[in-house]
Structure 1
Amino acid sequence: MKRKVMLLMTGLHYGGMERVVFIAQSLIKEDYDVTVVTLYAKDADYEPDFKYIDLNCPPKDGKISKSFNVLKRVSKVRKVKNKIKPDIVMSFGTSANFANVLSKGKEKVVVGIRSYDWLTNYFVNYSIDRWTYNKADRVVSVSKLIAQDAERIFTLSKEKSKVLYNPYDVDYICKKAEEQLDEINLPNTDKLIISVGRLVNQKGFNHLIKAFSLVIQNHPDAHLMIVGHGEKEDELRKLILNLGIQENVILTGGQSNPYKFMKNANLYVLSSVTEGFPNAMVEAMSVGLPILAVDCKSGPREILSTLDSKNSTYRNEDLEKCKYGVISMESSQSFDYNADNIEKCDQVLAEGIDMFLSNESLRKEYSIKSRERAQEFTYDRFKSNLLAILNEI
């Protein structure tokens, strides 16, 4: 009889975390009896093609409401565990992790750290987060740097701490990239820059837009396309307007198939203030886009330079040509939407974009390297590593 695994997630929005849950479900269902549970399905962007359990516990505003909501989530997770009787519950997202650990019974509990900022932006406070991770049977980080720092910050044992890179179906991505793009009329240019992600502070699109405002001074035919939706859309549109670059910037909103947008671009730029393992960047590499990424924690340096974890704390202060892409200095955490405030990180990022737009041979060189590197993050490798984590507990 197959062992039972419950995958517990926060919601059903567009995002790398949700995508990984769906992929994990499909890859291990032959080896385990898998049930997917979400804390809430309200305002879902996804409609999974498999059955899932919705606990109907969406986020609440206000401290008192949030506190009661935490207790409600824990109670509902415990009830569904008692009903399913899983051998292992693996959670994705800080809220899901907390509910998973707090409802722990005889089952093994696996929690994930999906982004570097989770190490310092505590769910409640440091001691509670430390208790949460130490109470779990395994803590799975999405990069070597996150695992390394999680072990130090939360005093996790090496045995408990694991690394699991995100999976990518490169063949599927390339196939979807060939679909007709009818949603927008693309500008007639060979200098189309693209970035994909939620319109939130974490993604650093304010820095990218400011950098691009410098780029078009030398490349007036260049265009920037940002694919995604989020709470900062109005502020970003205002910034674009104040910089006077509205004719050169396209905000497409969220897209179910971002790959065909990537396929029609000439350069992918990652401007995030923090990441875990940047899914959209690897997807862009799958379709052969050259990559310019800021040196944020974590992910870009591990992907583009293949540095070992012992060297992963190195931070770049300028532009650095790596084996699989170019790294720009780390974006500041100013979250500043003032058009008059152009920071050094914006200037360096602009220099990197200008370097790519001015050098077609450089773009071709890193396009080849991107495709080569993307092949190292396959479904097969992800499945093997995930099963190894589940099988040992």
Structure 2
Amino acid sequence: MAKTDANYLFVINSLAGGGAERVMTTLLARSKDRAPDGRLHLALLDNEPAAYTPPDFVTVHQLDARGGQLASIRQLLKLVRTLKPRLMLSFLTRANVAAVAVGRLTGVRCVISERVDTASHFSTTRLKAVKMLTVRTAYRLAERIIAVSAGVADSLVENFGIARDKIVVIENPVDVEAIRAKGAEAPSIPLEPPFVVGVGRLVPNKNFRLLIDAFAASGAPGKLVILGEGPERPALVQRIAELGLTDRIALPGFAANPFAVVSRAEIFVLPSNAEGFPNGLLEGMSLGVPVISTNCASGPSEVLADEPRRPLDDKVAATYGVLTPVDRVDAMASALQLLQDPELRRRYGALAEQRARMYSPEMATSRYWAVLEPDAPTG
């Protein structure tokens, strides 16, 4: 794509740890040839400690909305009136709503990216009806919406009335070589193989209670290691104690380099109730680790079975990993038992890495810019 002298503004809540934040920095890092130095800008709505570092050719604008929607709109509006960007690209719901509002007030083009099944995430929140209406209203005003999976796209159509032709699906990228290099590093915590691993925020939607109960029911040897931090920690610690497994299940907290731990695991498990796109699943697959995932909305079925999600009654040995029904302890325990077969683990590990290589950052970046600048010449 030819260079332009226009400003491009990327918007996200913060660069605190998470899949959306990682993808944002990956996309920026591979966009240097899309605009001259100094023309790529990143607005961080909240002043939070960053887990990821944007490239030095990107100008970072640190705002301080403190999680507030109105403050996000006000502060972003001031920045946009100064920068006068050609367009905005935003990630995450609050940033998306703010970007659309500011775009309407200033006439700046606005493309938003939906990273999760927002309807599912709102299902247990206060003021659900208000939040659903806010998203429905704002998202309809965006120029285009980039969904990270077909399941997220379906949810936008079914739950928010978004026109299907406004949505384009671009799956999250995974940098297999970078992840494997990190995986080869020494882990920051002591490990005693064999062990099963899970990674993610300790929040209800990630459903690590399911993994703990399934591991206990499976009779699998070794240990279970769950990397991550969050408000569910006390409840999970209590459940582990109730099962009498404090010596076999570890919650070591957030790991700056989780790949060094995951690469040494026998099995990677994603027990979520819902995902936007399962970044952690693909990262585990990049390391050649066999995987088990709940068949949640959305993404796991597309990755592991290469087909749209359909209801499951029990575990399914799919093409690239094992799928189980959501929140079914018996099925998850059965999947863990299935992968006690060393030969099956080896086969699924090789297939997992092969599948992960289909999601390259270069391909994803090109597809993003094709949405942002559909009429621009390439090369």
C-alpha change, 1:49 and 1:30, in structure 2 (3 Å) is closer
Q: TM-score, normalised by structure 2?
A: 0.91
Verify: 1:365 aligned to 2:347, yes or no: yes
* Aligned counterpart, 1:342: none
- What residue ranges of structure 1 are gaps of 5+ in the alignment? 60-68, 332-344
* Aligned counterpart, 2:136: 130
* Aligned counterpart, 1:73: 72
CA drift at 1:40: 0.9
For 2:299 and 2:309, the matched residues in 1 are separated by 11
* Aligned counterpart, 2:161: 155
Q: Which amino acid aligns with 1:239?
A: R
Deviations along 1:52-107, one digit per CA (max 9) or x if unpaired, are 11111112xxxxxxxxx432221110010011111111111111111111112221
* Aligned counterpart, 2:43: 37
Q: Which amino acid aligns with 1:212?
A: F
Task: Please list, as runs of the form range in 1=range in 2, the aligned pairs for 1:305-316 lying within 5 A after superposition.
Answer: 305-307=305-307, 312-316=308-312
- What residue ranges of structure 2 are gaps of 5+ in the alignment? 123-127
Deviations along 1:358-380, one digit per CA (max 9) or x if unpaired, are x1111011011001101100011
SS of the aligned residue for 1:124 comes to helix
For 2:121 and 2:176, the matched residues in 1 are separated by 33
SS of the aligned residue for 2:313 comes to coil
SS of the aligned residue for 1:230 comes to coil
* Aligned counterpart, 1:100: 99
Checking the alignment, whether the CA contact within 8 Å between 1:117 and 1:274 is kept in structure 2 is no
Q: TM-score, normalised by structure 1?
A: 0.88
C-alpha change, 1:52 and 1:161, in structure 2 (3 Å) is same
CA drift at 1:126: 2.9
CA drift at 1:49: 4.9
SS of the aligned residue for 1:277 comes to coil
Task: Please list, as runs of the form range in 1=range in 2, the aligned pairs for 1:108-119 lying within 5 A after superposition.
Answer: 108-118=109-119
Q: Which amino acid aligns with 2:332?
A: L
SS of the aligned residue for 1:30 comes to helix
* Aligned counterpart, 2:209: 206
* Aligned counterpart, 1:236: 236
Equivalent of residue 321 in structure 1, options 317, 320, 328: 317
For 2:99 and 2:112, the matched residues in 1 are separated by 8
For 1:185 and 1:387, the matched residues in 2 are separated by 43
CA drift at 1:275: 0.3
What is the RMSD of the two structures over their aligned residues, measured on CA atoms? 1.6
Report the identity percentage: 28
Verify: 1:288 aligned to 2:284, yes or no: no
C-alpha change, 1:114 and 1:135, in structure 2 (3 Å) is same
Deviations along 1:211-270, one digit per CA (max 9) or x if unpaired, are 11112xx33x32101111111111111111111101011112111211110111010011
For 1:302 and 1:228, the matched residues in 2 are separated by 25
Q: Which amino acid aligns with 1:302?
A: E
SS of the aligned residue for 2:173 comes to coil
C-alpha change, 1:229 and 1:123, in structure 2 (3 Å) is farther
Equivalent of residue 186 in structure 2, options 180, 184, 190: 180
Equivalent of residue 6 in structure 1, options 4, 9, 32: 9
For 2:250 and 2:121, the matched residues in 1 are separated by 33
| Count of equivalent residues | 360
For 1:70 and 1:354, the matched residues in 2 are separated by 46
SS of the aligned residue for 2:257 comes to coil
Deviations along 1:276-322, one digit per CA (max 9) or x if unpaired, are 11111101100100011111000100000111xxxx24121201011
* Aligned counterpart, 2:262: 262
* Aligned counterpart, 2:326: 330
SS of the aligned residue for 2:164 comes to coil
For 1:120 and 1:211, the matched residues in 2 are separated by 24
Verify: 1:197 aligned to 2:200, yes or no: yes
